[in-house]
A and B are shown apart, each in its own frame.
Chain A
Amino acid sequence: MEMRVLSWNLFHGRAVPPAGRDLLDEYAATLAGWRWDVALLQEVPPWWPRPLAQAAGASCARVLTSRNFLLPLRRALAVRWPDRVRSNGGGANAILVRGARIPEHRRRRVRWWPERRLVHAVRLDSGVWVANVHLTVPREDPGQEDLARALRAVLGWAGEAPLVFGGDVNQRRPAAPGLAHVAGHHVDHLFARGLRRASRAELPERGPLSDHAPLAVDLVSDD
């Protein structure tokens, strides 16, 4: 089994430099144009996962993270003034899957404060689990406890099944014991178990979209 995994923090749908307008269409076209089987997305405007998935011909699973109180109002403001509203437009993480169903979706809260953070994971038809995370790393967590907490949750869901775990972990040198580090760039990282790297990690060209580079790698079954 082969699988190309992409991780991308969408910077709440903004660009660098600021575009001053809603960029859903640009993000949707960009994601749809890349080759991937699974996309782990962080800092996604909460109303974006479905149109992003539709544009890419994918299924999706979403979790809401921070600043989602009065979401319809936040959405109205963020669509009109995305670069002023910034993350106050609401937050979500999403897993998009091409060419496979999502029979199961699990989530676990990792932290309430200073931001609500969650890890979530989907089980694919093939039995592979894919987990997506966006972590805050406050000064009191030098030991990467949030990362360990997220990983424990995912290992509990996945059991012995093959697993991909990644996203924006907000650390340059994260440790995920028991998993192989298959790709990393700045604070965005991908780990795997039961799958090995079949290509160089790559940074697909994104133009001005987001303040994070997307990170992609091909994985293949160990057996």
Chain B
Amino acid sequence: MTKPLTALAVCAALAGGTLAACGDDDEESASTTPAAAPATTGAAADVVVVDMKDIEYVPRNATAKVGQTVRWTNSDPVAHTVTAKSGSDVDSGTIDPGKDFETRFDRPGKVDYVCTIHPNQTGTVTVR
């Protein structure tokens, strides 16, 4: 029984290279999170716009002036949130696809925030 089993194991191992798509077709890929980038300035000069796209905040690290408004726009087909982890108590609640959320930061500092729906979706706003 051992020899046929070994032969079958070899066949299975060889076949695995071409047939084992199930375990390989959806492996986690490396993060595509963009590096820090300057925030896009919205149509209104006093608004910093952060896009929510492909389950990421773009830019991930935004900068705003004290008193400036930051607007998050959900361009994804899924909902997101903007929920502060530190530096603020901002919590947008659910932002449905196509909707916006904005808030104004009146104190300097760094706000770390996360989407509570997508644990790896994180961002910062540095207020100067």
Neighbouring B residues of A213 by C-beta, 8 Å: 28
Question: Is A186's CB under 8 angstroms from B28's CB?
Answer: yes
Bound CA span A26–B76, Å: 37
Question: Is A197's CB under 8 angstroms from B117's CB?
Answer: yes
Question: Is A185's CB under 8 angstroms from B19's CB?
Answer: no
Neighbouring A residues of B28 by C-beta, 8 Å: 186, 211-213
Question: Is A12's CB under 8 angstroms from B12's CB?
Answer: no
Contact of B117 among A76, A136, A175, A183 (CB under 8 A): A183
Nearest-neighbour CB distance to chain B for A222, whole angstroms, equals: 13
B116 close to chain A: CB less than 8 A: yes
Known: A76-B5, A77-B8, A173-B76. Contact between A87 and B118, CB under 8 A?
no
Contact of B16 among A88, A185, A189, A199 (CB under 8 A): A88
Neighbouring A residues of B79 by C-beta, 8 Å: 180-181
Bound CA span A172–B22, Å: 17
B37 close to chain A: CB less than 8 A: no
Q: Describe B's contact surface by its main secondary structure.
A: loop
Chain A: residues with Cβ within 8 Å of the partner, total of 48
Neighbouring B residues of A91 by C-beta, 8 Å: 22
Q: Give B115's nearest chain A residue, CB to CB.
A: A201
Bound CA span A77–B22, Å: 17
Nearest-neighbour CB distance to chain B for A199, whole angstroms, equals: 8
Residues facing B in A143-200 (CB within 8 A) are: 168, 170, 172-175, 180-187, 189, 197, 199-200
Question: Is B9's CB under 8 angstroms from A85's CB?
Answer: yes
B46 close to chain A: CB less than 8 A: no
Nearest-neighbour CB distance to chain A for B74, whole angstroms, equals: 11
Contact with A along B83-124 (1 / 0, CB 8 A): 100000000001000000000000000000010111110000
Contact of A181 among B23, B78, B114 (CB under 8 A): B78
Q: Chain B: residues with CB nearer than 8 A to chain A?
A: 5, 8-9, 12-13, 15-16, 19-29, 54-55, 76-79, 83, 94, 114, 116-120
Name 20 extra pairs, CB < 8 A, besides A200-B119, A215-B119: A43-B23, A76-B5, A81-B9, A84-B16, A85-B12, A87-B19, A88-B16, A91-B22, A173-B55, A173-B77, A175-B78, A180-B79, A181-B117, A184-B117, A187-B26, A189-B78, A200-B114, A201-B116, A201-B117, A202-B119
Give the top 9 A-B pairs by smallest Cβ distance, nearest first.
A87-B22, A86-B20, A200-B116, A84-B13, A87-B23, A181-B78, A87-B20, A211-B27, A175-B77
